[in-house]
Amino acid sequence: MKKVKIDAYAILQRVRKENPLVHHLTNWVTIYDCANIVKVIGGSPVMAHAREEASQMAGLASSVVLNIGTLTTELVEAMKLAAGAANKKGIPVLLDACGVGATSMRYQKSLELLDEAKIDILKGNASEIANLAGEMVRTKGVDAGDVLSDKVSLAKRLSSARGCAVVITGKEDIVAEKDKVYLINNGTPFMSGIVGTGCMSSSVVATFAAVEPDLALASAAGLVCFEIAAELAAKETKGPGSFKEKLFDCIFNLDKKSIDKMQRVEG
């Protein structure tokens, strides 16, 4: 893989211009931050989890985010309805497999979502994605998820098996869709110092996917923009409180120059 330049700014500008509606069925912890990040980056967030309206709302949207961070059986039923409506309309559905390895409920419900709906972008950290791939992550005391080539290979295999784009976030992010792979090396340690950056990056990716049909490119561009904003925020930060405030300022003010100059992408 070698260094590539992606036109993330062009997609960001399309988001700002088209103002796509992004429907979320998400967790109660970061629900505000997910809504606000979509708004600040130029989209239009909506959160609606009642089974009675989940599919109608998805029918109005340009993409759908499913995040199982504080799932219940009822919420997952509403997710299936929203995903079904989205599939029918042909808009992308992103599943953030938040904490999937922690409990059997999360694992089973994630598989149900993958089996009963068409998920277009599947996103998680290395251990979550390995878990969903049904693979042994730890071998001989070494976390296989720590070896980059293993993670790329995992993402590609799961992408083929599930017919979707796969996004593995971490110090280095991996986006795989069939044979296309992007590695994104942006970001800052401050991102893992607060709650919500993973969920917010899912919302940003889904917002970009709402305007860009190449889902691998949309995912890579969304991560690049989010993480460059985080790098800019980190520069003026005294701790996690000020980092978060500045993250929203920096995403709002993100310009072509920063995106072109700061992006570190391989493909």
Residue 27 contacts residue 70 (beta carbons within 8 Å):
yes
Shortest Å distance, C-beta 165 to its own copies: 27
* C-beta of 46 vs 262, nearer to its own copies: 46
* C-beta of 3 vs 252, nearer to its own copies: 252
For residues 80 and 183, what is the distance between their CA atoms, to the nearest angstrom?
A: 31
For the record, the structure tokens of 29 come out as 């912890």
Supply the DSSP symbol for 63.
E
Residue 123 contacts residue 97 (beta carbons within 8 Å):
yes
For residues 243 and 145, what is the distance between their CA atoms, to the nearest angstrom?
A: 28
* C-beta of 175 vs 199, nearer to its own copies: 199
Shortest Å distance, C-beta 71 to its own copies: 6
Shortest Å distance, C-beta 30 to its own copies: 6
Return phi, psi of residue 65, to 5°. Answer: -110, 125
Biggest CA pair distance of the chain: 51
Shortest Å distance, C-beta 67 to its own copies: 12
Shortest Å distance, C-beta 156 to its own copies: 30
Return phi, psi of residue 48, to 5°. Answer: -155, 115
Q: Which residues are at the interface with its own copies (CB under 8 A)?
A: 27-33, 35-36, 39-40, 45-50, 52-53, 56-57, 60, 69-73, 99, 102-106, 193-196, 238-242, 244-253
* C-beta of 69 vs 92, nearer to its own copies: 69
Return phi, psi of residue 161, to 5°. Answer: -65, -40
* C-beta of 164 vs 259, nearer to its own copies: 259
Residue 87 contacts residue 64 (beta carbons within 8 Å):
no
Shortest Å distance, C-beta 240 to its own copies: 5
* C-beta of 16 vs 178, nearer to its own copies: 16
Supply the DSSP symbol for 90.
T
